[in-house]
Amino acid sequence: MTIALCGTAAYSASKTVLVLGDSLSAEYGLARGTGWVALLDQRLKQKKIDATVINASISGETTSGGKARLASLLSKNHPDVVIIELGGNDALRGLALGASETNFRDMIAMSKTAKAKVLLVGMQIPPNYGREYTEKFFSIYAKLARESKVELVPFLLEGVADKPELFQADRIHMTAQAHPRILDNVWSHLQPLLSR
């Protein structure tokens, strides 16, 4: 996805946004162009913000996989903003929370070293994994955002996760109808990073 438009005064310099995510950002089960990342591309164009969106999301991606791919993506694309939307698959597989936290911390550090701003995207998992695990998992995002001083989307699926009609048949992934709201959840935290 590429946009080449004249930026407004607030967005004078061209920006590159790298999305490092899992199936929720990779349009799993959706028609191409209907997921929130594609909608982000459209919104930037509508608002005449000179930006390029690179969707490096892969269905099934974990924090370890994202970390392994990130150095190459940073070197190739030189993003101004890195959106990290990962962790859900770690939790669904019951992986050690300490390992996930370390991977997040490393990805944030790698992005900062590459002079990119970071937007960390929070995720929650179903309560059937046990209250202690689910609460500790969710708390990792706010903890890392606070410690690393990066912007945080508290919960990617805010306003849609509690609506069964917005789930695909697998009860895990959202339908296309949910993705405009998902974009709104991200946009309010991303927009300030684009205008700096």
Is residue 38 over pLDDT 80?
Answer: yes
Question: Which DSSP string do the residues of 36-48 spell out, in sequence order?
Answer: HHHHHHHHHHHTT
Is 78 in the active site?
no
Q: Which member of 41, 57, 173, 179 is catalytic? A: 173
Average pLDDT for 30-43: 97
Is residue 29 over pLDDT 80?
Answer: yes
Is 23 in the active site?
yes
Encode pLDDT of 67-105 as tens digits.
999 999 999 999 999 999 999 999 989 899 999 999 999
Question: What stretch of H or E contains 188?
Answer: helix 179-194
**38, 76 Cβ separation under 8 angstroms:** no
What integer pLDDT is reported at residue 195 of this predicted model?
Answer: 85
Is 100 in the active site?
no
| pTM of structure | 0.93
More confident residue, 130 or 28: 28
Average pLDDT for 32-52: 97
Q: Are strands 51-55 and 151-153 parallel, antiparallel or unpaired?
A: unpaired
Q: Which member of 22, 23, 80, 111 is catalytic? A: 23
**Both tokens assigned to 158:** 């805010």
Question: What stretch of H or E contains 121?
Answer: strand 117-121
The three-point CA angle 48-54-56 to 5° equals 155
How many CB atoms lie under 10 A from the CB of residue 181? 16
In whole numbers, what is the pLDDT of the chain averaged over residues?
A: 93
More confident residue, 129 or 55: 55
What integer pLDDT is reported at residue 11 of this predicted model?
Answer: 55
What integer pLDDT is reported at residue 9 of this predicted model?
Answer: 45
Nearest to 172 by CA among 15, 65, 23: 23
Tokens 């296309």 sit on residue: 176
